[in-house]
């Protein structure tokens, strides 16, 4: 078990932003024999072929075609992004001639307090002009570069009584002293191996430098940055690659921008999934009716981590639906359909769990608390198919250092492997399954 978790932690370490995460997964898919398809080019698809495509360098779709006709899709969707702070344009802010800090803004709804007093750096992508062409390149400054220092207790005696953080004042990272006149973007240019003047755009984010760790008696827990949602993404990919061939069409879907509403061209609310699934038919000379029939037979697992009962705040969880780390995969429910799980999709997932010997837990928000949403209800606006929302139980969601249970990760790999090796078929208001 520790070997699989350490592999996950290594993947997370290599994925400081959504851009690097997609690059890491692309490499893994290519090593497994998958062919990259570009959205702007014709697709040459063959029965039994293995393919993937990306959008914006931050979202990815991979699929494997059956040897016969495609008549159903088995989809697991997750997301690549995590809450962080995005570097603004003209970021250098001099303070009294002695410090230079960076101007940043929130990306997503993060816990601010854990960002203080820990080593940080910057990663993402830059746009570089080369003559009449503009190219994007990944960049990661792989060293301890920044820190957001706390205000000493002596200067704020009320700090331990609660504090409302102001992103413009409190959350700006310190990056150098006054003994240098170096600009931040020249530091980025050096890391990328380009000239500063050739950088014409950037998507750069702070990231936590602390590596992941396995801990607890019996190595039962692990902690790392960006578990929401790289844990589900990694488990889904493992299941996708390990699954046996079937008459179904397995699809690994990784969206970006879930933490800010998914409404971008690469988000779950975009046409990305629909575009890929339709092209599988159109590029092979089949019509839209065949596509719609396949969608009716299809099933999607929307995988995004879930809140475990907190040992110090047990009253924050629903009184009769208690979710614990290492307690099994979590099925998420919402009467208002912020989670898409319904009786049928819940039953399908229970079937998958029984087939694989995996434990399940069920999550509801307290009735007096409004919860968040995730991928399933948004992607359904573009591709309407039966969907269950699930996750892996964790603590400290949206902290730059989160905690989860080791056995849950392995359980999801096992269930994903089985699901990706099935064909689903709509039948009499329900589903039938075959290899």
As for how many domains the chain has, the answer is: 2
- Establish if 323 belongs to a structural domain: yes
Q: Of 179, 208, 237, which residue sits at a domain end?
A: 208
| Domain endpoint, select from 174, 208, 242 | 208
Examine residue 299 and state whether it is found in any structural domain, yes or no.
Answer: yes
Average pLDDT (353-380) is: 87
Query: Domain for residue 204, yes or no?
Result: yes
Statement to judge: residues 268 and 360 lie in one domain: yes
Per-residue pLDDT tens over the stretch 297-344 = 999 999 999 999 999 999 999 999 999 999 999 999 998 888 999 999
Which pLDDT band, with edges at 50, 70 and 90, does 237 fall under? very high
Residues 74 and 147 in one domain: no
The CATH number of whichever domain residue 18 belongs to comes to 3.40.630.10
Domain shared by 272 and 419, yes or no: yes
Query: What's the CA gap between 345 and 331, in Å, rounded?
Result: 10
- Tell me if residue 31 falls in helix, strand or coil: helix
State the chain's maximal CA–CA distance in angstroms: 74
Listed residue (434, 107, 260, 272) closest to 115, CA to CA = 107
pLDDT for residue 379? 78
Is residue 63 in some structural domain? Answer: yes
358 and 418 together in one domain: yes
| pLDDT of 429 over the 90 cut | no
Residue-wise pLDDT tens digits, 134-179:
999 999 999 999 999 999 999 999 889 988 999 999 999 999 998 9
pLDDT digits (tens, 9 = 90+) for 16-69: 999 999 999 999 999 999 999 999 999 999 999 999 999 999 999 999 999 999
User: How far, in Å, CA of 46 to CA of 33, rounded?
Assistant: 14
Predicted confidence at residue 208, as pLDDT, reads 98
pLDDT digit string, tens, across residues 87-134: 999 999 999 999 999 999 999 999 999 999 999 999 999 999 999 999
pLDDT of residue 428: 86
Shared domain for 274 and 394, answered yes or no, is yes
Residue 1 clears pLDDT 70, i.e. is over it: no
Closest CA to 200 of 189, 216, 212, 213: 189
Final residue before a domain boundary, out of 157, 174, 208: 208
Same domain, 171 and 269: no
Output the pLDDT for position 50: 98
**334 and 272 both lie in a single domain:** yes
Q: 214 lies in a domain?
A: no
- The string of pLDDT tens digits covering residues 369-379 is 877 677 877 77
Determine if residue 195 is left, alpha or beta; phi over 0 gives left, psi from -120 to 50 gives alpha, anything else beta.
beta
Contacts for 291 with CB less than 8 Å, ≥ 6 apart:
277, 278, 280, 281, 282
What's this model's pTM, rounded to 2 decimal places? 0.96
3-class DSSP state for residue 133? strand
Q: Which residues of 55-64 are buried (b: 16+ CB within 10 A; e: fewer)?
A: bbbbbbbbbb
71 and 196 assigned to the same domain: no
| In-domain check, residue 218 | no
Percent of the chain with pLDDT over 90: 89
Lowest-pLDDT choice from 73-82, 199-208, 360-369 = 360-369
CA distance 107 to 398: 11
Do both 272 and 388 map to the same domain? yes
Q: Supply the pLDDT for residue 374.
A: 77
Check if the beta carbon of residue 376 is closer than 8 Å to that of residue 340.
yes
Domain that residue 379 falls in: 2-82+225-434
327 and 270, same structural domain?
yes
Flag whether 220 is in a domain. Answer: no
Q: Is 213 within a domain?
A: no
Q: Which CATH number characterizes residue 148's domain? A: 2.30.250.10
| Residue 33 and residue 171 in one domain | no
Residue 329 and residue 365 in one domain: yes
Query: Using 50, 70 and 90 to split pLDDT, how confident is the model at 183?
Result: very high
* Dihedral sign from CA coordinates of 379, 383, 386, 392: negative
């Amino acid at each position: 078990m520790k070997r699989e978790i350490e592999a996950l932690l290594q993947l997370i370490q290599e994925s400081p932003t959504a851009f690097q995460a997609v690059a890491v997964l692309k490499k893994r898919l290519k090593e497994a024999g998958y062919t990259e398809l570009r959205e702007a080019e014709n697709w040459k698809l063959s029965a039994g072929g293995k393919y993937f495509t990306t959008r914006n360098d931050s979202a990815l779709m991979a699929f494997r075609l059956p040897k016969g006709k495609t008549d159903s899709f088995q989809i697991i969707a997750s997301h690549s992004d995590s809450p962080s702070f995005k570097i603004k344009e003209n970021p250098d802010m001099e303070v009294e001639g002695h410090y230079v800090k960076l101007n940043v803004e929130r990306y997503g709804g993060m816990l601010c307090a854990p960002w203080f007093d820990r080593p940080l750096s910057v990663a993402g992508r830059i746009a570089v002009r080369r003559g009449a062409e503009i190219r994007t390149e990944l960049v990661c400054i792989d060293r301890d570069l920044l820190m957001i220092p706390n205000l000493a207790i002596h200067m704020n005696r009320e700090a331990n009584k609660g504090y409302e953080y102001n992103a413009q004042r409190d959350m700006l990272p310190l990056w150098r002293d006054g003994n240098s006149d170096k600009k931040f973007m020249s530091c980025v240019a050096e890391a990328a191996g380009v000239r500063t003047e050739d950088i014409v755009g950037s998507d750069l984010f702070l990231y936590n430098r602390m590596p992941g760790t396995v801990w607890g008696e019996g190595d039962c827990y692990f902690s790392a940055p960006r578990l929401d949602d790289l844990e589900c993404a990694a488990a889904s990919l493992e299941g996708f690659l390990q699954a046996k061939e079937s008459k179904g069409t397995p699809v690994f879907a990784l969206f970006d921008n879930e933490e800010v509403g998914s409404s971008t061209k690469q988000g779950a609310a975009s046409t990305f999934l629909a575009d890929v699934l339709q092209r599988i038919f159109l590029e092979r000379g089949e019509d839209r009716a065949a596509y719609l029939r396949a969608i009716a037979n299809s099933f999607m697992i929307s995988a995004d981590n879930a809140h475990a009962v907190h040992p110090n705040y047990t009253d924050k969880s629903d009184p009769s639906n208690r979710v614990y780390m290492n307690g099994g995969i979590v099925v998420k429910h919402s009467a208002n359909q912020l989670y898409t799980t319904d009786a049928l999709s819940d039953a399908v997932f229970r079937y998958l769990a029984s087939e694989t010997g995996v434990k399940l837990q069920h999550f509801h928000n307290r009735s007096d608390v409004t919860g968040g949403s995730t991928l399933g209800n948004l992607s359904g606006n573009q591709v309407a198919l039966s969907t269950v929302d699930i996750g892996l139980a964790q603590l400290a969601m949206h902290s730059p250092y989160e905690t989860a249970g080791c056995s849950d990760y392995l359980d999801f790999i096992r269930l994903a492997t089985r699901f990706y090796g099935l064909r689903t078929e709509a039948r009499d208001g329900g589903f039938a399954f075959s290899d």
